[in-house]
A and B are shown apart, each in its own frame.
Chain A
């Protein structure tokens, strides 16, 4: 007689995803980031929900409502700090998760990969509109800079920007709708995450060797349920440490000043997780060119599966491509640094070279290295 968890329709779904799911025996810590992203999403939804009970999305009261949360609401300071730093941890996990996908050739699971790129865009949009809500100087001016980029769209650009703003500049109409989007998008993300898992579970997970693991599967529970639980504990400890000891480490001091449309901050920059893209945007002197480069910096991920040339799956047995991968990581770190710097010498030329290298690695060097590795191993 089959167990209830295998027969009851709802329990069966949970069972097939979390208990009896056949998993490769050798998936490493880099495979923890998927579940950690799920945890980050739940944490952000919960803390966000409690913040939403006390926040007001109006230009006259938004900033002071956040101060009210921080000072008067019971544990409001903690909820706010966990939510703000939780966003940073969300992106740490996202970048680790994508890095794993690139290194181990997981992008060959095209369904999951493409949904993943959509998820990345949704998470970025959610974080962008969320940062506007405290209505500090950086909230206002960051929104102004980025929404103005839409005016680069030919013919409809200006109309598009005013449609998004709900007026002739970033103002109350913009703030209220950004709050609505920030509340809505996480639930879209949750739905897309389920679609992401649906695609993944068609084939099962990749593994660090990139080999067919059918001969050595283990059940998800208890091996990876407990491993993921350990990952959750580590993430929560690190997040709590940052939120409790250095809550403003990753923030911008300018956001402690209420938004003032008449005073432009000297250095407008986004949060750290957007700096690499900001550097790529600023590397092109033309507005439309910069916007296209910004979009391309994320959408390039969609073409990676088609540029896979090597007969081997991941980079585990490909030393030449491994060097390129780490060069890409170092390049993104440089782009992040440049994105936080003012547009002056020598940062301009460094940013431009790093931007060229970023696209070259994806579009030229990785495919070339794969072709070379085939040749050296005698695989044609």
Chain B
């Protein structure tokens, strides 16, 4: 039936996303998605704006991941970040920063 098709596709898409999330492997190092973002100027500015506790948690996760990488190890399976538990803590701030930059660039054009 027509009303079921989007839900099935949505579930399929989420299933694929979850599979890819696990394939990517950063969760095995206890990282969240937003931890893996390359620190360009926008990300650096967004990091300046996040609350201190979130920043400290991020630094802990990064340091733990770097240490695991140095030892060529991963976390025990029960400590892997789960797809459903991943928090996109940086994304709202990043969206704000990008929006501001775009507005500034538009302003400077005129």
Write the nearest CB–CB distance from B108 to chain A, whole angstroms. 22
Segment of B2-10, B33-41, B74-82, B99-107 in the binding face: B33-41
User: Taking chain B's interface residues, is the majority helix, strand, or loop, or is none over half, making it mixed?
Assistant: helix
B88 smallest CB distance to A (angstroms): 8
- Could you say which interface size class chain B belongs to? 20 to 34
Please count how many residues in chain A sit with their CB below 8 Å of the partner chain's CB atoms. 25
B38 in contact with A313 (CB, 8 Å): yes
Residues in B whose Cβ lies below 8 Å from that of A26? 66-67, 69-70
- Is A4 in contact with chain B by the CB < 8 A criterion? no
Query: Are A210 and B36 CB-contacts (below 8 A) given A316-B25, A317-B24, A317-B25?
Result: yes
Q: Does B37 lie within 8 Å of A378, measured CB to CB?
A: no
Q: How far does the Cβ of B73 sit from chain A's closest Cβ, in whole Å?
A: 11
> A215 and B63: CB pair below 8 A?
yes
A290 at the interface (CB under 8 A from B): no
Q: Return A312 CB to nearest CB of chain B, in Å.
A: 5
Verify if A115 is at the interface (C-beta below 8 Å from B): no
Q: Closest Cβ of chain B: how far from A218's Cβ, in Å?
A: 9
A369 to nearest B CB, angstroms? Answer: 12
List of A residues within 8 angstroms of B33 by Cβ = 377-379
B70 adjacent to A25 (CB under 8 Å): yes
Q: Chain A binding site: helix, strand, loop or mixed by DSSP?
A: loop
Specify which chain B residues have a CB less than 8 angstroms from the CB of A212 in the assembled complex.
39, 62
27 contacts between A and B (CB under 8 A): A24-B66, A25-B66, A25-B70, A26-B66, A105-B38, A108-B38, A207-B69, A209-B66, A209-B69, A210-B38, A211-B36, A211-B62, A212-B39, A213-B66, A215-B59, A215-B62, A215-B66, A216-B62, A216-B67, A311-B37, A316-B25, A317-B24, A317-B36, A319-B20, A376-B17, A378-B88, A379-B37
With A26-B70, A211-B35 already in contact, 12 other A-B pairs whose C-beta atoms are closer than 8 Å:
A24-B66, A25-B67, A25-B70, A108-B38, A207-B69, A211-B65, A215-B59, A215-B63, A318-B24, A319-B23, A376-B16, A377-B17
Q: Which 7 A-B pairs have the closest CB atoms?
A: A26-B70, A26-B69, A313-B38, A216-B66, A317-B24, A317-B26, A215-B63
